[in-house]
């Protein structure tokens, strides 16, 4: 899965709780009550992608992405500098690694104007899903697109990635003639998109094999130790990418063995 972390600053927690190290939040609002953009941290699974949006509009930018290095959990450990969330006794946390900065930060205000039609359409389509709609980071309010206050960790799917950044090619959009997403950044976003496709493929393959390694005699049936593998490596063959007939479910050991076989 892919999530969007939206925060004002980089200190956000400090120490090993600061930007790039994890996503975190209190478990309760001051005075009690949960908040969907905080409980979402518990849904984060190792290997998920987290996009980072930093700053306050009109200076909020997509700055890069990280990979979850573990599942989201609840803890009584505290960030060294929780600021206005110091009241909390328990926190949610999902650790991150491998922060990859975008070659060029992408300004959200520019996207709200250059991708307005696409984003409005996405918002309306999502809203129409009712109770199964995604928790997204923006709202369409009084004829304007704006960030939803407090939407700390929100859902992102392939359609929203496309609404924001286009289908992979750079977007030449704003009226001042500048480019919103450079070629390099566009290709980094394509990488994020591939990761998303890969994760979905892997989940479906594991399900298709009933969460069992398909190597003869292998007993591994714990989905944490299984991978959905492509028969033709997806990177070598664009036409076969995502094609279910090309999937095999292996445990980690047999996945390695399969690729090393002559």
Q: Can you give the binding site for Zn ion, defined by CB under 5 A?
A: 213, 215, 218, 220, 251, 254
Which CB sits closer to Zn ion, 74 or 222?
A: 222
Nearer to Zn ion, 66 or 202 (CB): 202
Helix (H, G, I), strand (E, B) or coil at 188: helix
Residue closer to Zn ion (CB basis): 235 or 252: 252
Nearest CB to Zn ion, comparing residues 181 and 213? 213
Looking at beta carbons only, is 131 or 219 nearer to Zn ion?
A: 219
Q: Give the pairing type, strands 2-7 and 49-54.
A: parallel
Write down the least CB distance from residue 205 to Zn ion, Å: 14
Q: Smallest distance, Å, CB 10 to Zn ion?
A: 42
Question: Are 61 and 54 within 8 A, CB to CB?
Answer: yes
CA distance 41 to 43: 5
**Contact, 161 vs 2, CB < 8 A?**
yes
Q: Are strands 138-141 and 144-147 parallel, antiparallel or unpaired?
A: antiparallel
Q: What's the rounded Cα separation, in Å, for the pair 110 and 164?
A: 10
Pairing assessment for the beta strands 61-68 and 22-26 based on DSSP bridges: unpaired
Residue reference for tokens 């009241």: 87
Q: Which CB, 31 or 217, lies closer to Zn ion? A: 217
Kindly give, in sequence order, each residue whose CB lies less than 8 Å from that of residue 220, ignoring residues fewer than 6 positions away. 212, 213, 226, 251, 253, 254
Of all helices (H) and strands (E), which one includes residue 139? Answer: strand 138-141
């Amino acid at each position: 899965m892919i999530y969007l972390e939206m925060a004002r600053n980089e200190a956000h927690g400090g120490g090993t709780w600061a930007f790039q190290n994890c996503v975190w939040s209190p478990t309760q609002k001051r005075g009690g009550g949960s908040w969907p953009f905080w409980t979402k941290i518990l849904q984060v699974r190792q290997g998920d992608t987290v996009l980072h949006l930093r700053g306050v509009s009109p200076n909020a930018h997509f700055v890069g992405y990280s990979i979850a290095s573990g599942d989201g959990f609840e803890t009584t450990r505290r960030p060294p500098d929780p600021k206005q969330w110091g009241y909390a006794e328990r926190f949610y946390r999902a650790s991150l690694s491998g922060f990859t900065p975008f070659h060029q930060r992408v300004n959200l205000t520019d996207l709200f104007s250059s991708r307005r039609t696409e984003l409005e359409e996405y918002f309306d389509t999502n809203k129409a899903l009712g109770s199964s709609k995604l928790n997204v980071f923006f709202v369409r309010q009084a004829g304007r697109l704006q960030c939803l206050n407090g939407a700390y960790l929100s859902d992102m799917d392939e359609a929203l990635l496309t609404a924001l950044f286009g289908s992979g090619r750079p977007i030449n959009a704003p009226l001042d003639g500048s480019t919103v997403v450079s070629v390099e950044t566009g290709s980094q976003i394509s990488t994020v998109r591939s990761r998303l496709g890969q994760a979905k493929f892997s989940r479906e393959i594991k399900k298709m094999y009933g969460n069992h390694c398909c190597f003869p005699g292998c007993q591994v049936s714990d989905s944490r130790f299984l991978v959905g593998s492509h028969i033709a490596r997806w990177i070598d063959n664009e036409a076969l990418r995502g094609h279910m007939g090309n999937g095999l479910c292996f445990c980690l050991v047999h996945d390695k063995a399969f690729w090393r076989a002559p």
